A and B are shown apart, each in its own frame.
Chain A
Amino acid sequence: MPISMKNEAAIAGIGQTTYSKNSGVSELALACEAVSRCIDDAGISPSEVDGLVSYTLESSDEIEVAQNVGLGDLTMYSQVNYGGGAAVGLIQQAVMAVATGAANNVVVWRAMNGRSGRRMGQGASGVMMSSDLIHWSWYQVYGMLTPVSWVTLIANKYMHHYGVTAEHLAEVAIAQREYALNNPAAFGYGKPLSLDEYMNARMVSAPLRLYDCCQETDGGCALLITSTERARDMRQSPAVIRAVSQASTRGQEQMTSFYRDDMLSLPEMELAARRVYDMSGLGPDDIDAACLYDAFTTEVVMQLESFGFCQPGEAKDFVADGNLRLDGRLPNNTHGGLLSEAYIHGINNIAEGVRLVRGQSFNQPAKAEHVLVSSGVGVPTGALILGRD
């Protein structure tokens, strides 16, 4: 019998730093602050943390964080690859550790000076050699250096085929900005976005405009994963992990899965959907709210189909009908998301999933029994379903 991951573990703590454009401190300092706050939120002692998981993009080593925060003995530590595609993969690592006893209390985090420090998509030049660098080189040589330049080739094909317009994308951006208006931690707090502003903003990688793209942020965010049983004795009500899976599939590349027969869907996200629905025994009708990875507006639209909320080609109408709003079918990224809260490689979207299940969102929907969260789009990815205990 394989060890089950269903309902075995819960997210019992969330911690985040201030999100800004210039933190003025090191990425290690951000990591320590986020991890420390996360432990306090759960109401446990640092010495009780025995596992750590972060992103391969993380610049701070586990042992540096452990030294600073005063953690105890560590029996499990790992990192997950593929940028924002790692997000729920961190949770999967932690759940496996908790379910097997490799560790009892695992903190996962991402902390980055994503605006003032090294920004995403600045290219890498050619002295070093790896399959990864050769991969990027096919695109960098033509000037494709930014995530939006890669994403748009898939987005434009999908938009053209199904008749998705700028107005559809604007609704994604504006709905999330309106959520951010109520979230003091968000970049978009107090900064409304009108349809005119959206339309008149500069074209970045046509047909995607400025407000189709996520923030660049300095900040950190951390989550504590423990057994559901232990979580019940901690300070907050547990966000039970009903299901979690990473997902990569045939023809998978990092951001450039351009060589599949068609580019009208996200096969890796469909795999993630099958995995989490199978594991949880839940289906799209059971999901009350979502935090679908939103580095770009088109990614939200396409995922609505991947996760079965709409049939292929119908997501644009689902969006236009206001279904991502608080009173809609699927309130999405109620904190503002990567587009309007902060870009912390998706871990902040998981934090909002936890708040939704706890009933602590700044935009709390009437019902949030089950919340779906996804990892980065266009990369090896994954999905997570959180549920109220």
Chain B
Amino acid sequence: MEQSSRIKPPMGPDNGWWWQEVANDVLPIQRCKNCQVLRHPPRPMCDQCRSMEWDFVRAGGGGAVFSYTVLEHPQFPGYSYPIIIVLVDLEEGTRITAELVDCDPGEVEFGMAVTVRIQEDSDGFKLPVFYPVIAQEGE
């Protein structure tokens, strides 16, 4: 029962491609081929024009913290606590949910500039995490 690594996403046609790009060290943002609108999380249909044709752009990785929380309890196997969870507004548009690393939980702030890094777990699984652009001095 004990699980020593994070819960992996099921890889379906609507999301597996995204994780495959991440495994190639890319942060992808899905783009409607018809109207060019970006969307995240990935979905099969564009809610603006109902096109099911899409490709993706490579995010530059920069963004700003829109909201955050620090997970302390309960603690599940496979994760290291505390975990800072951030919603990041990406520079290209769209918002993504991810972990903030290299930051003291007391120093995360709304609007903080962050950038992405593709992190590799010990079991080889890769996922995007963000870190502060400038090391925050304690106030």
Contact surface of A with B, Cβ cutoff 8 Å: 123-129, 131, 133-135, 137-146, 149, 152-154, 156-157, 160, 202-208, 210, 256, 258-259, 263
Answer whether A143 and B8 are a contact pair too, CB < 8 Å, given A259-B40, A263-B67: no
Closest to B80 in A: A143
By size class, the interface of chain B is 35 or more
Verify A143–B68 contact, CB threshold 8 A.
no
Q: Which of B24-32, B55-63, B95-103, B131-139 contacts A (4 or more CB under 8 A)?
A: B95-103
| A134-B15, A140-B7 as given contacts; A152 in contact with B69, CB under 8 Å | yes
Which residues of B in the span 59-90 have a Cβ within 8 Å of any Cβ on A? 66-74, 76, 78-79, 81-83, 85, 87
Q: How far does the alpha carbon of A155 sit from the alpha carbon of B35 in the complex, in Å?
A: 33
Q: Is the Cβ of A203 less than 8 Å from the Cβ of B9?
A: no
The answer to whether B71 and A143 touch across the interface, beta carbons within 8 angstroms, is yes
Bound together, the chains give a CA A139 to CA B74 distance in angstroms of 15
Query: Judging by beta carbons under 8 Å apart, are A206 and B105 in contact?
Result: yes
- Residue B12 at the A interface, CB < 8 A? yes
Q: Do residues B15 and A202 form an inter-chain contact, with CB atoms below 8 A?
A: no
Q: Is the CB of B72 within 8 A of A139?
A: no
Q: How far is the CA of A256 from the CA of B74 in the complex (A)?
A: 19
**Min CB distance, A241 to chain B, in Å?**
34
CA distance A259 to B94 in the complex (A): 8
| B99-116 to A contact mask, C-beta < 8 Å, 1/0 | 100000100001000000
A142-B83, A142-B97, A256-B97 known; A126 vs B8 contact (CB < 8 Å): yes
Q: A138-B9, A140-B7, A202-B72 are in contact. List 17 more A-B contacts (CB 8 A).
A: A125-B8, A126-B7, A134-B14, A135-B41, A142-B83, A142-B97, A142-B98, A149-B71, A153-B68, A154-B67, A156-B67, A157-B110, A160-B67, A205-B71, A206-B69, A207-B69, A259-B40
Q: Which of A134, A202, A256 contacts B73 (CB 8 A)?
A: A202
In the assembled complex, B124 has its CB within 8 A of some CB on chain A: no
Inter-chain contacts of A140 with B (CB < 8 A): 6-7, 9
A129 close to B12 (CB less than 8 A): yes
Q: Which of B10, B15, B76, B95 contacts A143 (CB 8 A)?
A: B76
Instruction: Known A160-B110, A206-B72; judge A143-B9 contact (CB<8 A).
Output: no
Q: Are A153 and B10 in contact (CB under 8 A)?
A: no
* Set B7, B99, B127: member contacting A145, Cβ < 8 A: B7
Residues in chain A near residue B97, CB distance under 8 A: 138-139, 142, 144, 153, 256, 258
The residue on A at minimum CB distance from B79 is A143
**Chain A positions within 8 Å of B85 at CB level:** 142-144, 149, 153
Please name all residues of chain B whose beta carbon is closer than 8 Å to the beta carbon of A208 when the two chains form the complex.
Answer: 69
Is B8 within 8 A of A141, CB to CB? yes
Determine if B87 and A137 form an interchain contact, defined as CB atoms under 8 angstroms apart: no
Q: Are B10 and A129 in contact (CB under 8 A)?
A: yes
A128 to B8, CA, bound (A): 12
List the B side residues contacting A134 at CB < 8 Å. 9-10, 12, 14-15
- Contact partner of A205 (CB less than 8 A), chosen from B7, B11, B41, B72, is B72
Q: Which of A123, A125, A202, A206 contacts B70 (CB 8 A)?
A: A206
Instruction: Assess the A204–B73 pair: CB atoms within 8 A.
Output: yes
A206, B15: Cα distance in complex, Å: 29
Please determine whether A157 and B66 come into contact, CB atoms closer than 8 angstroms.
Answer: yes
Please, how many angstroms separate the alpha-carbon atoms of A210 and B15 in the complex? 34
Contacts of A131 in B (CB 8 A): 14
Q: How far is the CB of A6 from chain B (nearest CB, A)?
A: 33
In contact, B69 and A153 (Cβ under 8 angstroms): yes
| A48–chain B nearest beta-carbon distance, Å | 45
- A77: shortest Cβ distance to chain B, in Å? 31
